[in-house]
Amino acid sequence: MAGDADLLLAWANEPSTRAAGFHPDPIDPATHRRWLAERLAAPGRSLFVGLDDGEPVGPVRIDIDEDGRAEVGNSVAEAARGRGIGRALLEAGITAAVAAADDRSTSDGSPPIRTLVAHIRPDNAASLALFGRAGFHAAGEGSVHGALCRVFERPVPRPAPRVVAIVQARLGSTRLPGKVLLPLGAYPVLGHVMRRVARAASVDRVVLATTTHPADDPLIDLADREGWSVVRGSVEDVLDRYMTAARAHDADLVVRITSDCPLIDPEVVDEVVAASLDEAWDFTANTIEPRTYPRGLDTEVISRTALARAWAEDEEPAWREHVTPYLYRHPDRFRCRAVRSPTDHSAERWVVDTSADYDLLQRIVGALDRDDASWREVLAVVEAHPEWRDLNRAVEQKVVPPAAGQQ
């Protein structure tokens, strides 16, 4: 450690490095060691030392902010200049930092690196040329410690995110036990949900997330017969069950679907996923109040990083049972987007949570006589039989309680 600190200090105090930076005065050893200790302790700050045939040739420094913007800085030691290694050193540091940030993102929800940023003095011709060759583009001017600088940026390309729809299900419903296995036309309630979600073009995998309780073994039997992917986990901590499933299936985006929505529309799922990808939102849903879609088309999309953060931070058992309250009740911590239909149909209730709900759904499914009808076709059937709405009009929707101490 002491040897590395001395080497970094020597590089930092090389006359050409001081002249090209924003602090022309030499750095004293005590200040340098304090700075280095703070940097090594901060998870969003990385410092790499490049090697050329085993010889240390210069540092690469990268600092990541909460939005995934990473400030990049590097220098080549005076003794190693003239070898043409500047760009290779820069790219090696970037590659290592992106990989490290991705690992942290997976484990604790820290942001991945989305954009690389460099601030360079206008008279630093070597760095201007280096970052230009490395694919950075001019993004305006700025200042560092009062000194004028030019700002350069480079987006970090990423593969299309892996979208995994996770359908939570168990047989221990308090209001209608065993509801997800009730027959509904050609399939049980859960069968409709799994088939319809699988038709969403944006979804790469559909996973059934049930519990380890023996009472839910019949769900495993059904999944085995149907060839569904299954993850088992906590009975009450559904958030933990989702995190387990997301890890098991390497999800970048998680689509949360509940198993009591047999008329879930794949086009609505695709709409919410597309909205989530529009600006890399943390939480995107058609359930955010004021909601406009019928109840029963509920679709929530959570980024893997946001899910991991909620899993690590949420200490409210009642919220963890409902998976997402920690996200939408903390808009100061998570970027949330609501998806709404042009017309308010929130009074429609197409879920199976009570026997009254089940009576309505039996009539709707019987009238449709097919399992791929869109939600607008469902609406047309209900509007043709408005008296059916009276079947479950009196059913009260369960409400997620506030946090402890906020009642």
Instruction: List, for residues 193-207, the tens digit of each pLDDT value.
Output: 999 999 999 999 999
The residues with which 64 forms a beta bridge, in sequence order, are 70
pLDDT over threshold 90, residue 347: yes
Distance of CA 210 to the CA centre of its chain: 22
pTM exceeding the 0.75 threshold for the entire prediction: no
Count Cβ neighbours within 10 Å for each residue of 182-207 and write b for 16 or more, e otherwise: bebbebbbbbbbbbbbebbebbbbbb
Higher pLDDT, 6 or 238: 238
Burial class (CB in 10 A: 0-12, 13-18, 19+), 20: middle
How many other CB atoms are there within 10 angstroms of residue 81's CB atom? 15
pLDDT over threshold 90, residue 407: no
Residue 74's contacts (CB-CB under 8 Å, 6 or more residues apart) are 58, 59, 60, 61, 86, 89, 90, 93
pLDDT on residue 97: 92
pLDDT over threshold 80, residue 321: yes
- CB 63, CB 70: distance < 8 Å: yes
Distance of CA 387 to the CA centre of its chain: 42
- CB 114, CB 94: distance < 8 Å: no
pLDDT tens-place string over residues 352-396: 999 999 999 999 999 998 889 999 999 999 999 999 999 999 999
Percent of the chain clearing pLDDT 90 (strictly above): 72
pLDDT on residue 405: 53
**Structural domains of the chain in order of their starting residue, each with its CATH number:** 2-155 (3.40.630.30), 163-346 (3.90.550.10)
> Considering only 79-93, 97-111, 355-369, which range has the smallest mean pLDDT?
97-111
pLDDT on residue 83: 85
Token pair for 258: 């509940």
pLDDT on residue 404: 58
> Considering only 101-115, 227-241, 250-264, 367-381, which range has the smallest mean pLDDT?
101-115
> Considering only 36-40, 99-103, 278-282, which range has the smallest mean pLDDT?
36-40
Nearest to 352, CA basis, from 392, 323, 322, 319: 392
Token pair for 91: 């790219």
pLDDT on residue 185: 93
* Rounded (10°) angle between helices 304-313 and 238-248: 140
pLDDT on residue 394: 94
The residues with which 116 forms a beta bridge, in sequence order, are 70, 154
pLDDT over threshold 90, residue 131: yes
Phi, psi of 397 (to 5 degrees): -75, 135
Distance CA 346, CA 296 (A): 10
- CB 304, CB 105: distance < 8 Å: yes
Residue 202's contacts (CB-CB under 8 Å, 6 or more residues apart) are 163, 269, 270, 273, 274
pLDDT band at 2 (very low <50, low <70, confident <90, very high): low
pLDDT band at 403 (very low <50, low <70, confident <90, very high): low
Higher pLDDT, 363 or 110: 363
pLDDT over threshold 90, residue 175: no
pLDDT over threshold 60, residue 406: no
Token pair for 237: 């901590």
pLDDT on residue 368: 93
pLDDT band at 280 (very low <50, low <70, confident <90, very high): confident
Average pLDDT for 128-134: 93
Distance of CA 23 to the CA centre of its chain: 38
Nearest to 68, CA basis, from 335, 389, 246: 335
Maximum CA extent, the chain: 85
List the Cα angle 372/376/380 in 5-degree steps: 105
Alpha carbons within 13 A on the beta-carbon side of 378: 28
